[in-house]
Structure 1
Amino acid sequence: MPDEKLPAGATAQAAEPASAHRSRLIEGMAHSVAAKGYADITVADIVREAGVSKRTFYECFATKNDCLIALYVAASHGALKVLKEAIDPGRDWKTQVEHALGAYLACLASNPALLRTLFIEILGLGSEGLQVRRRMNQELADFVVQVVGVGHSHPAQDSAHTAAMAMAVVGGINELVLQAIENGGTAKLATLTPACSALVRAVLTAPAPNPAALRA
């Protein structure tokens, strides 16, 4: 694919490593979707925001969808980083969960347009979008298990049950966020903190079912 004329001021970017170009393009995607929504943006919009050429885009990403997936992963890791940094080991785990969830939800609410794209439009990518969404949800569920495990011990045989319940908690929180997005309540996501915290406490502190009792 022939290169296009670089946007003004982009010549200096030619010497940047590929990782820097990739980061600029992901940021360009974020600005583009926040301004216009994913369905209406083009690769031209992304490269204009990033200050690079179309050739550089296709050296980093095969398609616009690939760039959206990269943005989704970066944004998800950013939100997870906020969650992790909000953990205070000096507090009991229930207080830690509530404080961390509040910080996480506030982070999600900070960019409503981007949030809608990442929670809703990522699913429009089909199996690719679903796969990466599940991977990010698994990372979040693993972290929930880690935090809860520090202050609330489970028998070894309950580990699989706890992991499954953690994923159920993540799914429940995601559904509450989706509902807020659809109802135009993105700016008030932090008000979901008590409900999300109660969900974590109720689900992850419940004892695993007794297999013998289930068979009876």
Structure 2
Amino acid sequence: MTAVQETTRPGAAVGAEHRARLLEGMARAVAAKGYADTTIADVVREASVSRRTFYENFADKAECLTALYESASGNALAVLRGAIDRQSDWQAQLEQALSAYFGALACNPVLLRTLFIEILGLGMPGLAARRRVNQQLVDLMLEVINQRTGESRGAPLHPAMAVAVVGGINEMVLQSIEQGRAGALQELVAPSAALLRAAISADF
């Protein structure tokens, strides 16, 4: 191990911890007050760090919220990908993955509102961040469905239909949040799976 490694690793670890605490602080502040009314003072108070530490990590609160959104979305996507069993029938894979994905979302209601509502308060930057995440979901869906082999291969999923499915699932989650049913997202597994099967069968 070099001297540079010895001196930089502790600092990097502290920096990563501060960043994680700021993201958690942003999540709690936004959950309590909404993004529009959340200030940097709220975030640093929730995170128990200084304002200086905030600006060492983020240019402004919009950048912090975007980072929170991308981190939480990345975690949910990792859960979704990890739940896919390539050895199983693709329809079983689909339901297992959707169940895991909705479970990951429902287990943290504080973040759920941020992921589906507050991010849009950023305007175009928030919309762009959401589109990037949606595209990752679309790409994964196309990968799993269109790489089927053997007798279960069936019809391919068109990219435009994959976009429509992701949009439909997002709207169902949003409706659940608005109705105060964020803890019951598992109810969306069956309609989401049916939506995807219909999209695959569509004559596009």
TM class by shorter-chain length?
Answer: 0.7 to 0.9
Alignment match of 2:45 (pick from 45, 48, 57): 48
User: C-alpha displacement at 1:162, in angstroms?
Assistant: 1.2
Aligned residue for 1:200?
Answer: 196
Q: Relative to structure 1, is the Cα distance of residues 109 and 184 closer, same or farther in structure 2, using a 3 angstrom cutoff?
A: same
**Aligned counterparts of 2:164 and 2:60: Cα–Cα separation in 1:** 32
Aligned residue for 2:179?
Answer: 183
How does the TM-score come out when normalised to structure 1?
Answer: 0.81
- Deviations along 1:121-143, one digit per CA (max 9) or x if unpaired, are 11111100000000000001100
User: C-alpha displacement at 1:17, in angstroms?
Assistant: 4.9
Alignment match of 1:143 (pick from 135, 140, 147): 140
**Aligned counterparts of 1:32 and 1:168: Cα–Cα separation in 2:** 32
Query: What stretches of structure 1 of length at least 5 have no aligned partner?
Result: 1-12, 209-216
User: C-alpha displacement at 1:184, in angstroms?
Assistant: 1.1
**Aligned counterparts of 1:121 and 1:188: Cα–Cα separation in 2:** 20
User: C-alpha displacement at 1:42, in angstroms?
Assistant: 2.1
SS at match of 2:158: helix
**Aligned counterparts of 2:13 and 2:102: Cα–Cα separation in 1:** 35
The percentage of aligned residue pairs carrying the same residue is 56
Q: How many residues align?
A: 192
User: C-alpha displacement at 1:110, in angstroms?
Assistant: 1.4
Q: Relative to structure 1, is the Cα distance of residues 89 and 15 closer, same or farther in structure 2, using a 3 angstrom cutoff?
A: closer
How does the TM-score come out when normalised to structure 2?
Answer: 0.85
User: C-alpha displacement at 1:28, in angstroms?
Assistant: 2.1
Q: Relative to structure 1, is the Cα distance of residues 15 and 186 closer, same or farther in structure 2, using a 3 angstrom cutoff?
A: closer
- Deviations along 1:25-60, one digit per CA (max 9) or x if unpaired, are 112222333344333432122222323210111121
User: C-alpha displacement at 1:106, in angstroms?
Assistant: 1.4
- Code of the aligned partner of 1:120: I
Query: What stretches of structure 2 of length at least 5 have no aligned partner?
Result: 1-9
- Residues 136-175 of structure 1: matches in 2 within 5 Å? 136-151=133-148, 153=153, 162-175=158-171
**Aligned counterparts of 2:153 and 2:11: Cα–Cα separation in 1:** 54
Aligned residue for 2:95?
Answer: 98
Q: Which range is displaced more, 22-31 or 187-196?
A: 22-31
User: Which consecutive segments of 4 or more residues in structure 1 shift more than 6 A?
Assistant: none
Structure of higher CA gyration radius = 1
